[in-house]
Amino acid sequence: MPDRRPLISGNWKMHHNHFEAIQSVQKLSYRLTKDDYEEVDVSVHPPFTDIRSIQTLLQSEKIPVELGAQNCHWEPKGAFTGEVAAGMLAKLDVTYVIVGHSERRELFGETDEMVNNKVKAVLKAEMTPIMCVGETLDERQADQTETKVAGQVVAGLAGVKPEQVASMVIAYEPIWAIGTGENATPADAQAVCALVRSTVAEKAGADAAAAVRIQYGGSVKPGNAPELMAQPDIDGALVGGASLEADDFARIVQYRLGGD
């Protein structure tokens, strides 16, 4: 299997003001060791209002955690009140930007075309997109998981060069598992992540498929992280609620030590 370095990302969603965010990162840094950073890439994705504070903390304390954002607009500038351009995030030393998160798709009506535009904007700004894909409960029960997920992968990568695809992260997030306490079994998660990789191979070639990192997201916890991360096509985790508690998030990053 190619050496795809694991990436564990904490998506804080609309939680933590900048004081709480600073405390959370400090606590996380106390829990993680040099060995952890050598084995796993770690990113935190706070709300926009926290990003500058976290950037300053990471740089001043030399904490080897990557700074991420939860979203961006696809245009470089313009009359888009309330939106943030990818280039603005790049100036804050953001490394990873989540695009097409299930909540953005379901609650804010983001389309595959919008997600594709955001992927291209993030790449143009020389950051790494974490492109999310996943099915609803109704789609799962109707045996439409493969059609839905493969379609999102193809649409999201439209017009993206193979070498760019290779540098990306794709997160499989079953919508029915987000914030519900439910999660796909490791075997089910592996099957869909393998589908994502095979779809990338068809779209961008075998080299891109071998290099792209695929995360699983959906009620990832310290207890299930080791078995999920043991799957051959799961290269990381996009962690929601469990990333808000530094102790839990650290235990997920340290999945190789055995979770609970």
The domain limits of the chain are 7-257
Q: Can 45 be counted among the known catalytic residues?
A: no
Confidence bin at 179 (pLDDT 50/70/90): low
Bridge-partner residues for 67, per DSSP? 44
Q: Can 20 be counted among the known catalytic residues?
A: no
pLDDT at 142: 93
Helix axes 186-204, 145-156, angle to 10 degrees: 40
Closest alpha carbon to 149 in 218, 205, 221, 232: 218
Classify 42 as helix, strand or coil.
strand
Highest mean pLDDT: which range of 9-13, 104-108, 180-184: 9-13
Task: Look up residue 231 and give its amino acid.
Answer: Q
Alpha carbons 132 and 181: distance in angstroms, whole number:
19
User: Are 156 and 116 a contacting pair, CB within 8 Å?
Assistant: yes
Active-site pick, 103, 110, 135, 173: 173
* 72-98 tens-digit pLDDT: 999 999 999 999 999 999 999 999 999
Predicted TM-score (pTM) of the model is 0.96
CATH number of 7-257: 3.20.20.70
User: Between the CA of residue 143 and those of 107, 127, 148, 149, what are the distances in Å?
Assistant: 23, 35, 10, 11
Q: What is the DSSP string of 114-150?
A: HHHHHHHHHHHTT-EEEEEE---HHHHHTT-HHHHHH
Active-site pick, 45, 66, 101, 139: 101
